[in-house]
């Protein structure tokens, strides 16, 4: 007898699915039993369902193909939700199998009952409840098609009894990804060209939508004599081999990117949903290019909206543009060189016996890592150091929870990257808070023999949260972390653990870790007083920090203020 679950696994196999991330449970028994007889699909047994969803999303981002995660009824599939939110906001195709309680018990407040189709609606492009075997495999085909075409999360809610029931239809369908080019009408392209030609200075702001369009964006920048500012998700696609790069803007960026935006008469936005309105210039004209029309004008009013792929639109625009002179570009590049030099000055060894400067650690990670490394920073201060010090080259990848902004993303995403390619060097820039939030999934690295290189920025604090408190004029509260020796914890789990307590030991530890054939955790004690200063400090932030300083002294914690000033004096002068 072919069950619904068996047909589901057969269809996933036909569609090239190589693994399913999850935890088993009784409501998933039919699915895991079928999976047991299909060795072509690997069951990646994680320790927390949130990790399963993060890992599936990371694999999808690396491959571009649909990936699968699964959770048992109630609390099991509920744990998937944070990782699914991340996948949805990163626009990667993921299918989630959310097992459900027995059909006849739905609506009775049965043990572990939830309403998954309601819970997952906001973080999915498709969610449906399979109430009867006759709905399958049709709903599976719709879910796969929707996830693939809309590049998002599709959720199928399947009660255990439905999964184990005989299949009404045992067909297996291959869902092929469509291929198309989207280009605006000629009159709209000309309208955009008119705005850009009339502007004395143009700055390009590029995001994740520039993937695969490096050459075309460079041609645009050359014709417009335009500096290129990238958002975080555009860094890996635009930063390398570019005589136009002036870095990032925004909270994670630095001054040159901010200045290049502010001094432009026109901004050309390419495939970006950069979310911070305060970093857009007030008086510049804006041309925005995006494959999703609903995103255009979401962050800042636009003068010309172009619906299309960045690669296609850039190629179509170049012939319509006048060749500009390079004064704006020259000024922006000159400022970038000065800004870059100041940032590099911060990435120096600390004095003997002192905690490591996190800037130095990030730069040494970049220098010693392989040319095709996948870097994954945790949300918080590691993302800032990744933005400022990791060098991209067209082969390296940079993954993270850059849109959803969730802590604890790094190790789970490393699992997804390595599960599909164990030979590719994968390095996390883990915060101590993020690491400990899903600490148990270090055991997944051991159990699945995944050679992740986990570098911990161990400053015994929720460092970015502290900075936010200080900028708001508040004394840091509830941000201190009493951390163990993470290297010792790793060794107890069967992972090679290395402890670094000063700058002198950084290079040797990283070199040893990167050469090791297996998972490694490098626990680096970093300075908790380092400030991650944004490119433009708002008046309210300055006022808040001054208020924090006064409160610190009055509360008897003046020594903390002294340590803060001593650590960050080099950032100000």
Question: What residue numbers does the annotated binding site for FAD cover?
Answer: 249-252, 272-276, 290
> What's the CA dihedral at 109, 167, 56, 175 to 10 degrees?
-130
The CA distance from 85 to 288, in Å, is 25
Q: Is 279 a catalytic residue?
A: no
Q: Is 236 a catalytic residue?
A: no
Q: Which two tokens stand for residue 446?
A: 């051991």
Q: Which two tokens stand for residue 34?
A: 């079928």
Query: Looking at the DSSP assignment, which residues form a beta bridge with residue 69?
Result: 21, 96
pLDDT of residue 553: 38
Angle between helices 539-554 and 558-572 (to 10 degrees): 140
Residue 50 CB contacts under 8 Å (≥ 6 apart), including other chains: 79, 80, 81, 82, 83, 408, 412, 438
Helix (H) or strand (E) holding 522: strand 520-525
Query: Looking at the DSSP assignment, which residues form a beta bridge with residue 205?
Result: 229, 269
Give just the sign of the alpha carbon dihedral 232, 238, 239, 245. negative
Go through the chain and tell me how many residues it has: 573
Q: Which residues of 20-52 are buried (b: 16+ CB within 10 A; e: fewer)?
A: bbbbbbebbbbbbbbbeeeeebbbbbbbbbbbb
Write down the catalytic residue from 402, 464, 486, 514.
464
Q: Which two tokens stand for residue 512?
A: 């040893």
Question: What residue numbers does the annotated binding site for Mg(2+) cover?
Answer: 432, 459
Q: Is 285 a catalytic residue?
A: no
pLDDT of residue 534: 54
Question: What residue numbers does the annotated binding site cover?
Answer: 49, 249-252, 272-276, 290, 405-407, 432-434, 459-465
Write down the catalytic residue from 162, 379, 427, 525.
379
Write down the catalytic residue from 104, 111, 149, 512.
111
Write down the catalytic residue from 4, 6, 17, 49.
49
Helix (H) or strand (E) holding 388: helix 381-389
pLDDT of residue 535: 52
Where are the extended beta strands (E) located within 92-240?
A: 94-100, 126-129, 153-159, 202-206, 228-230
Q: Which residue, among 405, 351, 343, has the nearest Cα to 379 in the 3D structure? A: 405
Q: Is 374 a catalytic residue?
A: no
Write down the catalytic residue from 33, 42, 105, 112.
112
Question: What residue numbers does the annotated binding site for thiamine diphosphate cover?
Answer: 49, 405-407, 432-434, 459-465
**Rounded average pLDDT per 10-residue block, the chain, 573 residues:** 97 98 96 97 98 98 98 98 98 98 97 96 98 98 98 98 97 94 95 98 97 98 98 96 94 86 96 91 95 93 96 97 95 94 92 94 98 97 94 98 96 98 98 96 98 96 75 76 95 98 97 98 90 53 42 39 44 48
Region for 212 from its dihedrals, namely left if φ exceeds 0, alpha if ψ lies in -120 to 50, beta otherwise? left
The CA distance from 496 to 9, in Å, is 36
pLDDT of residue 465: 76
Q: Is 10 a catalytic residue?
A: no
pLDDT of residue 136: 98
Q: Which stretches within 421-528 are classed as H helix?
A: 432-437, 442-447, 463-471, 486-493, 506-515
> How many of the other CB atoms lie within 10 Å of CB of 486?
26
pTM: 0.92
Q: Which residue, among 314, 300, 315, has the nearest Cα to 204 in the 3D structure? A: 314
């Amino acid at each position: 007898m072919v069950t619904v679950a068996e047909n589901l696994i057969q269809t996933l196999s036909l569609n090239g699915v190589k693994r399913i991330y999850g935890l088993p449970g009784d409501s998933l028994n039919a699915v895991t039993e079928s999976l047991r007889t299909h060795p072509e699909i690997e069951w990646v047994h994680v320790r927390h369902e949130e990790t399963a969803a993060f890992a599936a999303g990371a694999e999808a981002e690396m491959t571009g193909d649909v990936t699968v995660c699964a959770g048992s009824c109630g609390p099991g599939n509920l744990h998937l939700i944070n990782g699914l939110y991340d996948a949805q906001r990163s626009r990667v195709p993921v299918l989630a199998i959310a097992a459900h309680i027995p059909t006849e018990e739905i609506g009775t407040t049965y043990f572990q009952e939830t309403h998954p189709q309601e819970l997952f609606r906001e973080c999915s492009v498709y969610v449906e409840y399979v109430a009867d075997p006759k709905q399958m495999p049709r709903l599976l085909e719709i879910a796969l098609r929707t996830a693939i075409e809309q590049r998002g999360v599709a959720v199928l809610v399947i009660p255990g009894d439905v999964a184990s029931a005989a299949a009404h239809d045992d067909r297996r369908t291959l869902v092929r990804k469509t291929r198309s080019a989207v280009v605006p009408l000629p009159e709209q392209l000309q309208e955009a060209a008119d705005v850009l030609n009339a502007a004395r200075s143009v700055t390009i702001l590029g995001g994740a939508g520039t993937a695969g369009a490096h050459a075309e964006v460079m041609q645009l920048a050359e014709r417009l004599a335009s500096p290129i500012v990238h958002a975080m998700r555009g860094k890996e696609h635009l930063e390398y081999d570019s005589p136009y790069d002036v870095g990032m803007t925004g909270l994670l960026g630095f001054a040159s990117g901010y200045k290049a935006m502010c001094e432009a008469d026109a901004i050309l936005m390419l495939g970006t949903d950069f979310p911070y309105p305060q970093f857009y210039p007030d008086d510049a004209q804006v041309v925005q290019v995006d494959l999703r029309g609903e995103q255009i004008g979401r962050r800042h009013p636009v003068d010309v909206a172009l619906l299309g792929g960045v690669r296609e639109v850039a190629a179509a625009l170049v012939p319509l543009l006048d060749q500009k002179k390079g004064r704006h570009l020259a000024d922006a590049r000159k400022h970038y060189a000065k800004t870059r030099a100041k940032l590099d000055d911060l990435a120096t060894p600390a004095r003997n016996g002192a905690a490591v400067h996190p800037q130095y650690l990030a730069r040494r990670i970049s220098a010693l890592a392989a040319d095709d490394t996948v870097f994954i920073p945790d949300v918080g201060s590691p993302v800032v150091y990744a933005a400022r010090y990791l060098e991209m080259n067209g082969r390296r990848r940079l993954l993270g929870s850059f849109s959803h902004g969730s802590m604890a993303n790094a190790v789970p995403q490393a699992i997804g990257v390595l599960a599909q390619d164990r030979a590719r060097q994968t390095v996390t820039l883990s915060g101590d808070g993020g690491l400990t939030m899903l600490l148990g999934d270090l055991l997944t690295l051991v159990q699945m023999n995944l050679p992740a290189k986990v570098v911990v920025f161990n400053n015994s604090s929720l460092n970015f949260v502290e900075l936010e408190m200080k900028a708001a004029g508040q004394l840091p509260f509830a941000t201190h972390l009493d951390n163990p020796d993470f290297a010792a914890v790793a060794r107890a789990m069967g992972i090679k653990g290395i402890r670094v307590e000063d700058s002198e030991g950084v290079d040797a530890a990283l070199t040893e870790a990167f050469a090791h054939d297996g998972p490694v955790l490098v626990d680096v004690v970093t300075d908790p007083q380092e400030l991650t200063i944004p490119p433009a400090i708002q008046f309210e932030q300055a006022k808040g920090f001054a208020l924090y300083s006064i409160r610190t002294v009055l509360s008897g914690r003046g020594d903390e203020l002294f340590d803060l000033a001593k650590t960050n004096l080099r950032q100000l002068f």
